[in-house]
């Protein structure tokens, strides 16, 4: 093995605080040691600072707000819009649309799922305009979830509203 390789091995094996000394051995070869030999002129070797990397803390696990939904920060904004907040929603046949406001936009395989009165409504979709059909008159709650397969990624705040429609006897 070459002397340079042995020098590198010696540097790796020594603690970072050790001083390295260079001297010439009896055969005229350069030699290195962590202690200067007796009776031999040795020169301290200046070593460059060692590279080091601080370990990264693992990300904190997502806290669970219930067994079926995770509170995460995948989306900065997730809410339903297009529903009246102070008056009844007039939908004579019970059909109306709501809009999903989401930032950033829907990611990867994520889909929207509506929850009407705490029950899944319709098929999951990736569009931000969602239609509800033949909803009975009266008080209802509505929320939207972002899902990844069967996993709830995030859920919007629940909106409560009243549907007003023509009553047919």
Distance separating alpha carbons of residues 93 and 136, to the nearest angstrom: 9
Separation CA 140–CA 98 (nearest Å):
14
- For 47-97, how does the pLDDT look when each residue is reduced to its tens digit (9 = 90+)? 776 666 666 666 655 544 443 344 446 899 999 988 877 778 787 788 888
Q: What does the DSSP 8-state code read for residue 69?
A: B
CA nearest neighbour of 147 among 77, 68, 66, 64: 68
> What residue ranges define each of the domains in the chain, with the CATH number in brackets?
3-45 (no CATH), 64-164 (2.60.40.10)
Binning pLDDT at 50, 70 and 90, where does residue 30 land?
Answer: confident
- Distance, in Å, from the CA atom of 123 to the CA atom of 113, rounded to the nearest integer, reads 7
Kindly tell me if the per-residue pLDDT of 9 is higher than 60: no
114-132: per-residue pLDDT in tens? 999 999 999 999 999 888 8
> Maximum distance among all alpha carbons in the chain?
115
Q: Does 16 have pLDDT greater than 80?
A: no
């Amino acid at each position: 093995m070459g002397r340079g390789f042995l020098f590198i091995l010696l540097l790796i094996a020594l603690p970072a605080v050790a001083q390295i000394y260079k001297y010439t051995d009896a055969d005229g070869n350069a030699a290195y040691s962590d202690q200067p030999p007796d009776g031999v002129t040795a020169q301290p070797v200046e070593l460059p600072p060692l590279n080091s990397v601080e370990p990264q803390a693992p990300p904190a696990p997502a806290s669970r707000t219930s067994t079926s939904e995770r509170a995460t920060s995948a989306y900065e904004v997730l809410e339903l819009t297009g529903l009246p907040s102070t008056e009844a929603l007039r939908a004579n046949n019970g059909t109306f649309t709501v809009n999903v406001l989401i930032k950033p936009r829907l990611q990867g395989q994520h889909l929207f799922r509506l929850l009407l009165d705490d029950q899944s409504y319709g098929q999951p979709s990736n569009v931000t305009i969602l239609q509800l059909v033949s909803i009975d008159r009266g008080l209802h709650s509505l929320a939207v979830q972002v899902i990844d397969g069967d996993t709830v990624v995030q859920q919007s705040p629940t909106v409560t509203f009243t549907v007003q429609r023509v009553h047919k006897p």
